[in-house]
Amino acid sequence: MSELEPIEYETGTAIRDYDIIKITQTPLGYEVVLDVNLDSGYALSRTTLEITAEDLQGYETQDIEMAIKYALGFFNQ
């Protein structure tokens, strides 16, 4: 791990879309491997997202794919 101080930004770039590569159930919830395309034109490849059982409760769903959408900020308006 780096000893550098984190940089705080006002805002970031939006996620354009994402592809789910693999979902693995873990003792605490799920580990999800994603490819994420950003509006800035950059991409994050093989990014890991952890969704806990508490996250699922907070999102009021047991559907892991719906929880992934919520975790990435894709909400129905």
Domain, as residue range, for 61? 15-71
| pLDDT score recorded for residue 47 | 97
Q: Tell me the pTM.
A: 0.80
- pLDDT band (50, 70, 90) for residue 13: confident
Q: How confident is the model at residue 77 (pLDDT cuts 50, 70, 90)?
A: low
In a domain, 22, yes or no: yes
77 occurs within a structural domain:
no
Total Cβ atoms within 10 A of residue 43: 12
Asked whether residue 7 is assigned to any structural domain, the reply reads no
Convert the pLDDT of each residue in 17-47 to its tens digit: 999 999 999 999 999 999 999 999 999 999 9
Whole-angstrom distance, CA of residue 59 vs CA of residue 64: 10
Asked if residue 10 is part of any domain, the answer here is no
41 belongs to a structural domain: yes
Please tell me the total count of domains within the chain. 1
DSSP calls for the chain:
---PPPPP-S--PPEEEEEEEEEEEETTEEEEEEEEEETTS-EEEEEEEEEEHHHHHHTT---HHHHHHHHTT----
